[in-house]
Amino acid sequence: MGIFKPKAWLSEVTDLDKTEPRSYKEALLHPRWKQAMLEEYEALIKNNTWSLTPLPKDRKVIDSKWEFRLKQTLSGEITRFKACLVAQGFNQDYGIDYFETFSPVVKPTTIRLVLLITLSHN
């Protein structure tokens, strides 16, 4: 028996569910988008992705914004409401505004390269 994750399908999809909000204010009016925002916030807190710190006098606040996406199957059925809080980091300076970067994605080519190097060194 293999390990699998059962698919959870959303029921009762309305016309309002088929559009992505353009702002966080719009998203807060819809329960499913509001839940998606709450899940994203809780994940950021749980993973210690960011922390609030006092703002130095010579620095500006780095803005952030919410991005909203509907995740769908190939047939168009909505499977997930996805909200991401992203920093508008084009104004950031390394060592001042941030100290490390985080990317949860590993490309298959990277895994193959690491395995190839490992095999070549026994």
Query: What's the length of the chain?
Result: 122
Q: Output 80-83 pairs: Cβ under 8 A, ≥24 positions apart.
A: 80/10, 80/36, 81/17, 81/32, 81/33, 81/35, 81/36, 82/36, 83/27, 83/33, 83/36, 83/37, 83/39, 83/40
> Between vectors from CA 100 to CA 97 and to CA 105, what angle results, nearest 5°?
130
Residue with tokens 């193959």, as numbered in its chain: 112
Cα(51)–Cα(62) distance, rounded to whole angstroms?
13
Tell me: the pLDDT tens digits for 105-119?
788 888 999 999 999
Whole-prediction pTM: 0.60
Tell me: the pLDDT tens digits for 53-75?
888 888 778 788 899 999 988 88
Q: What is the DSSP letter of 15?
A: G
Question: Residues 35, 81: contact at Cβ < 8 Å?
Answer: yes
